[in-house]
Amino acid sequence: MTYAGIVTRGIAIAIDAALINLIAVITGAAVNLVAGLFGSDINFDLGGAVVAGAIWFIWVGSYFTFFWDVTGQTPGSRVLGIRVISGDGRDVTLWQALRRFGGLVLCVLSFGIGFLPVLVDKRRRGLHDMLAGTVVQWVDASVGLPPQTLLTRGAANAPGAPPPPGS
């Protein structure tokens, strides 16, 4: 098993951050547009800014947790051909995804110190991986990905699922 390094993972998270914030900006603009159609102008005071920040944090957590739990890959990870799996090779569980996101928050709040173990750990795990019991591996390009309509855990192995390419 080949584990992904810090540069690849950093680029993947940068792609995800750009996508997360692009969606947040578009959503905010749409909400403001609809409010403007009804004669309201959205201006934030401190309380509004705190609520908006909390909504953004929930959105970010939901994004990462959903993709790690359901597919093991965020869009940024998919672009770079890497995937999060459990340390024992199984799919990531919801609880692991939540712990991993919590660890990711700790890594960011520590100004990136939590990412440094990726440089020295033999399985290239950061603090968030250690807390969740996960690893990030390269996806074997010769193994076909399941169709995007199969976004439920185990769907690719379910009876009636299409056979893997080349079988």
pLDDT in tens, 140-167: 766 555 555 555 555 555 555 555 555 5
Any idea which residue has 């951050």 for tokens?
A: 17
Of residues 28 and 143, more confidently modeled: 28
Paired tokens of 149: 């309509």
CB within 8 Å of 163: residues ≥ 6 apart: none
Query: Each residue of 98-113: pLDDT tens digit?
Result: 999 999 999 999 999 9
Length of the chain: 167
Distances, alpha carbon 135 to alpha carbons 44, 79, 139, in Å? 40, 18, 12
Q: Are 100 and 60 in contact (CB under 8 A)?
A: no
